[in-house]
């Protein structure tokens, strides 16, 4: 419960619920075992031959290991030596696209629909914000200019911007001044279009508007027009601020886009994949810290239980070695670990410490009692492997990561449990 309580502290939804569910579930199982199970057991039970045979083998073996400390010491020393070589090679993978495995058929259908509806990447866009509409339009104009350069350089295929509908008022005035600077523009333009077959005077209303222009087009007027729905889809109201969204198509170089926009004020390039990966990495680091916090909490509980540092450390030593073995194995096998491996390690340490406790508690018993305890440990280990370990054969990488880590971790917890005898004195009572 102490280890799972650490998981319940995380702010990552899903894992937090998992931690609380585990804590309450274990507490409920404990209450049922203490107050309900005894009345359900038969008054007389016959020991199964298989269990008796295993007890007769395991009991004498563990009793004999009490005096073979040098043999027991080989395991932790070997683990630490291998870990010193392997752990520096361990790679953490926080890329969600590599962790998940979407169905190829559904992925192809999704791509087909996107090509027909919209070929813009919904996970990549630029946000240009401002304190008012004028500031937002100025920032959006700067974004459009930078992205246009990237399109010319072949690093971006296209964009959908508010620039196509609305320019800053200052830019509108400059363009108007350029048009009005040429006194003979109406005559030249009318002559050019007449030569192409247009009726003379067709653009007279345009020239009249040029002589007495309306005020620059603003966002409120645009939204009130027939183009309002299109413009509104590109504008966000952020309380006392406003922002324009520019959707991107065919981003060839993400770093180039980020570098081109990095120095612009109130401009943010949002890349969903990077954003989610950073969140994933944050929760992974938080989970590893919770593993450390859970470790200290379990150690404190063991110290309260045994009132002796040697017995408490002996009970927890195998559970401490299991993550080292697992991570070293992943590193040597070239497996990239992720958040799910970290969460699974937390669960393994919570469940695996039980075997060390059983070894310490039965270390002073006779062979018969020791054998019965080890058979119970073996049965618990097998049931846990069958429940968690079967996830290892899943075709989904997240479930497979949980299954491999928990299955192998629980098995190692049982195998390494005799190492607890290293720290127990021959005459020590626990």
**pLDDT (tens digit, 9 = 90+) per residue, 291-350?**
787 788 888 888 888 888 888 888 888 888 999 999 999 999 988 888 888 888 888 888
| Boundaries of every domain in the chain | 2-100+276-423, 119-271
Both tokens of 413, joined, read 């917890």
**What pLDDT is attached to residue 97?**
67
CA distance 290 to 313: 20
Residue with tokens 């100025």: 138
CA distance 6 to 154: 49
CA dihedral 288, 310, 428, 307 (to 10 degrees): -90
Q: Which contacts (CB < 8 Å, 24+ apart) does range 379-386 have?
A: 380/354, 381/355, 381/410, 381/411, 381/413, 381/414, 384/351, 384/410, 385/410, 385/411
Average pLDDT of the chain to the nearest whole number: 84
Question: What H or E segment, with its residue span, contains residue 128?
Answer: strand 121-130
**What pLDDT is attached to residue 45?**
67
The residues, any chain, with a CB within 8 Å of residue 31's CB and separated by 6 or more, are none
Q: What is the pTM of this model?
A: 0.69
CA distance 350 to 410: 10
Q: Assign 146 a pLDDT band (cuts: 50, 70, 90).
A: very high
Q: Model confidence over 176-215: pLDDT tens digits?
A: 888 888 888 888 888 888 888 888 888 888 888 888 888 8
Q: Where are the alpha helices (DSSP H) in 118-168?
A: 133-152
In b/e form, how buried is each residue of 15-28, taking b as 16+ CB within 10 angstroms?
beebbeebbeebee
Both tokens of 89, joined, read 């090679």
323, with CB counted inside 10 A (0-12, 13-18, 19+), is buried
Classified by CATH at the fold level, domain 2-100+276-423 comes out as: Multidrug efflux transporter AcrB transmembrane fold (1.20.1640)
Handedness of CA 195, 196, 199, 201 (dihedral sign): negative
Q: Decide if pLDDT at 430 tops 50.
A: no
CA distance 307 to 360: 13
Q: Model confidence over 341-390: pLDDT tens digits?
A: 888 888 888 888 888 888 888 876 665 677 788 888 888 888 888 887 78
Point out the least confidently predicted range of 76-80, 85-89, 275-279. Answer: 275-279
**What are 270's strand-pairing partners?**
125
Q: Model confidence over 48-77: pLDDT tens digits?
A: 777 778 777 777 777 777 777 788 888 889
User: What totals of helices (H) and strands (E) does the chain contain, helices first?
Assistant: 19, 5
CA distance 213 to 203: 15
**What pLDDT is attached to residue 169?**
92
Both tokens of 51, joined, read 């269990």
């Amino acid at each position: 419960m102490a280890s799972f309580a650490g998981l319940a502290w995380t702010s990552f939804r899903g894992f937090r619920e998992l931690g609380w569910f585990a804590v309450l579930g274990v507490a409920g199982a404990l209450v049922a075992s203490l107050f309900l199970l005894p009345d359900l057991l038969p008054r007389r039970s016959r020991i199964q031959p298989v269990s008796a045979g295993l007890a007769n083998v395991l009991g004498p073996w563990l009793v004999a290991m009490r005096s073979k400390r040098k043999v027991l010491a080989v395991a932790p020393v070997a683990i630490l030596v291998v870990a010193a070589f392997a752990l520096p090679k361990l790679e953490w993978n926080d890329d969600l696209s590599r962790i998940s495995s979407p169905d190829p058929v559904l992925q192809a259908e999704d791509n087909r629909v996107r090509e027909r509806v919209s070929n813009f990447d919904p996970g990549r866009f630029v946000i240009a914000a401002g304190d008012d509409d004028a500031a937002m339009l100025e920032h959006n104009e700067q974004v459009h200019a930078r992205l246009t350069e990237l399109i010319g350089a072949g690093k971006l295929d296209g964009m959908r911007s508010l620039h196509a509908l609305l320019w800053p008022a200052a830019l509108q005035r400059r363009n108007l001044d350029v048009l009005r600077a040429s006194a003979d523009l109406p005559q030249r333009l009318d002559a050019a279009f007449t030569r192409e077959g247009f009726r003379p005077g067709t653009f007279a209303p345009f020239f009249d508007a040029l002589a007495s222009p309306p005020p620059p087009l603003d966002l409120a007027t645009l939204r009130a027009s027939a183009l309002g729905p299109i413009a509104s889809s590109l504008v966000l109201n952020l309380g006392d601020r406003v922002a324009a969204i520019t959707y991107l198509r065919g981003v060839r170089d993400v770093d180039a886009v980020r570098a081109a926009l990095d120095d612009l004020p109130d401009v943010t390039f949002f890349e969903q994949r990077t954003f989610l990966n950073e969140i994933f990495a944050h929760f992974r680091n938080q989970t590893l810290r919770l593993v450390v916090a859970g470790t200290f909490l379990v150690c404190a509980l063991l110290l309260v239980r045994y009132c002796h540092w040697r017995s408490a450390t002996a009970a927890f030593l195998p559970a401490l070695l299991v993550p080292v073995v697992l991570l070293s194995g992943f590193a040597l096998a070239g497996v990239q670990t992720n958040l799910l491996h970290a969460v699974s390690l937390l669960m393994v340490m919570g469940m695996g410490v039980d075997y060390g406790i059983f070894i310490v508690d039965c270390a002073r018993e006779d062979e018969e009692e020791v054998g019965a305890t080890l058979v119970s440990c073996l049965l618990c280990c097998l049931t846990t492997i069958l429940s968690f370990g079967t996830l290892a054969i899943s075709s989904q990488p997240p479930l497979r990561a949980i299954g491999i880590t928990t299955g192998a971790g629980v098995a190692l917890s049982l195998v390494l449990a005799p190492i607890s005898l290293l720290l127990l004195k021959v005459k020590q009572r626990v």
